[in-house]
Amino acid sequence: MPVPISRPVNIPAKSAAGFRLATGDILEVIDLEGQQVADLFCFSIDDTSDTLSSGRSIDYEDTVLFSAGSTLYSHAGKPMLKILTDTCGRHDFLVTPCSLHMFQMMSGSEDYHHSCQENLERALAAFPVDLRQISTTFNIFMNVTFAASGKIEVESPLSNPGDSIRFEAMMPLYIGLTACSDEGSNGGTCKPIAYRITASRA
Amino acid sequence: MPVPISRPVNIPAKSAAGFRLATGDILEVIDLEGQQVADLFCFSIDDTSDTLSSGRSIDYEDTVLFSAGSTLYSHAGKPMLKILTDTCGRHDFLVTPCSLHMFQMMSGSEDYHHSCQENLERALAAFPVDLRQISTTFNIFMNVTFAASGKIEVESPLSNPGDSIRFEAMMPLYIGLTACSDEGSNGGTCKPIAYRITASRA
């Protein structure tokens, strides 16, 4: 029997998708047009109080930069996602998703702006999770540089059209995945993101 | 009327304290013997779902290194604590508190080990908060270095005996504060930490 491979699913610009992964499933995230960020957050299905943890992952992997071979851990210290392949090589795990509060603070206006925070909450609302636990996301293709002084800068993604990253689910997961809404993180324009799930043989 | 200043309170080695701060209160954390880390986590009293956020603070302050003049933000983007003075100058806001799981993974044994995670949970259990929301702590006096490659290393604290950091509470807060239990982060031995609260005039 061939392993089931779904067709790529398109996440329209400035929106998000929510879906389940079973243990062993492969999630591929594809930057269709290049220079587009996709924020990822996840909850353990078996214990929804246990969520993706930037701080635990940085501590256990001894790095702030994650690529092929890296594991993303939960707050309880359990492996959630392992990065199998990565054609881009630059992602961020330092900063929280963009939010309406952030846009309003930066612009000094009360205008509405789409945000990854709101889009993740909408995408994950279908699942029995506590949306208040959404914290620092794994920001796929996001290019945050840091200096010895500690100063960070959000620069244009290094991803080219067709670049992709593949994760293996190490436990059953609820996933929220965005096509990021922050023009400043995406080379000036917000574009779609695609993802594809290859089901495990289990 | 003089402003009330409490005497310093001692946090014994490998333990933690939990307490409230009112808006405007000054919290001073003192490294009595030098080279001792104190992990801090906090919840908004007015909305206990809103907690300290490393990722939001790094994003809003554009740095991973925080010292005098820096503000620590909540997940909702609200100022929680402002650093007024800092005689050490090196702290960490990247990694989660040490945990029993971490010690057992590193040692390969099932032996019990005190941890900041457990001590924070005990210290904050007296308050009406969701302990599952304890995530990346502000690790006072912790010296985590990082290279351009992303690689981090936990080195001995740069703090000398008597070094201190003073925070102003920007909102009413439940605070958990530890004397860190990880020998490896504290120059080889776990020592006490002191703190002192100066009440606001409000």
Mean pLDDT of B117-132: 96
For helices A100-107 and B54-61, angle between their N-to-C axes, nearest 10 degrees: 20
The predicted pLDDT at position A7 comes to 80
B128 in contact with A, Cβ within 8 Å: no
Distance (Å) from the alpha carbon of B18 to chain A's nearest alpha carbon: 21
pLDDT for residue B85 is more than 90: yes
pLDDT band at B200 (very low <50, low <70, confident <90, very high): confident
Ordered DSSP codes for B77-136: S-EEEEEEEESS---B-SSPPP-HHHHHHHH-S------HHHHHHHHHTTSS--GGG--S
Mutating which of A152, A155, A180 best tests the B interface, going by the most B Cβ atoms within 10 A?
Answer: A152
Distance from CA of A29 to the nearest CA of B (A): 22
Residues of A in contact with B75 (CB under 8 A): 96, 132, 135
Residue B5 pLDDT greater than 70, yes or no: no
Is B59:B186 a contact under the CB 8 Å cutoff?
no
Give A101's contacts in chain B (Cβ within 8 Å): 76-77
Query: A46 with A172: CB under 8 angstroms?
Result: yes
Cα separation, A127 vs A94, whole angstroms: 26
- Mean pLDDT value across chain B: 95
* Dihedral in degrees, nearest 10, Cα atoms B121, B126, B129, B135: -20
B136 with A64: Cβ contact below 8 A: no
For residue A200, what pLDDT is reported? 82
Helices B100-107 and A54-61, interaxial angle, to 10°?
A: 20
Q: What is the pLDDT of residue A5?
A: 66
Residue B59 has pLDDT above 70, yes or no: yes
What is the pLDDT confidence band of residue B7, given thresholds at 50, 70 and 90?
A: confident
How many residue pairs from chains A and B have C-beta atoms closer than 8 A?
A: 100
Q: Provide the β-strand partners of residue B86.
A: B165
CB contact under 8 A, B95 and A64: no
Q: Which of B106, B152, B202 is nearest to A94 (CA)?
A: B152
Q: Does B95 touch chain A (CB under 8 A)?
A: yes
Query: HSE (CB half, 13 Å, CA atoms) of A5?
Result: 4
* pLDDT (mean) for B41-50: 97
What's the rounded mean pLDDT across residues B27-43? 98
Chain centroid to Cα A16, Å, comes to 10
Query: pLDDT 10s per residue in chain A (202 long)?
Result: 455 667 889 999 999 999 999 999 999 999 999 999 999 999 999 999 999 999 999 999 999 999 999 999 999 999 999 999 999 999 999 999 999 999 998 899 999 999 999 999 999 999 999 998 999 999 999 999 999 999 999 999 999 999 999 999 999 999 999 999 999 999 999 999 999 999 986 5
Contact B202, B4 (CB under 8 A): no
Tokens representing B67? Answer: 């010292």
Percent of chain B with pLDDT strictly greater than 70:
97
The pair of three-digit structure tokens given for residue A40, joined into one six-digit string: 């990822």
pLDDT at A4: 62
Selected residue with higher pLDDT from B12 and B1: B12
Judged on CB neighbours under 10 Å (0-12, 13-18, 19+), B9 is middle
Convert B29-67 to b/e letters by CB count within 10 Å (16 or more is b).
Answer: bbbbbbbbbbbbbbbbbeeebbbbbbbbbbbbbebbbbe
Q: Scanning the structure block, which residue is given the tokens 């009327």?
A: B1
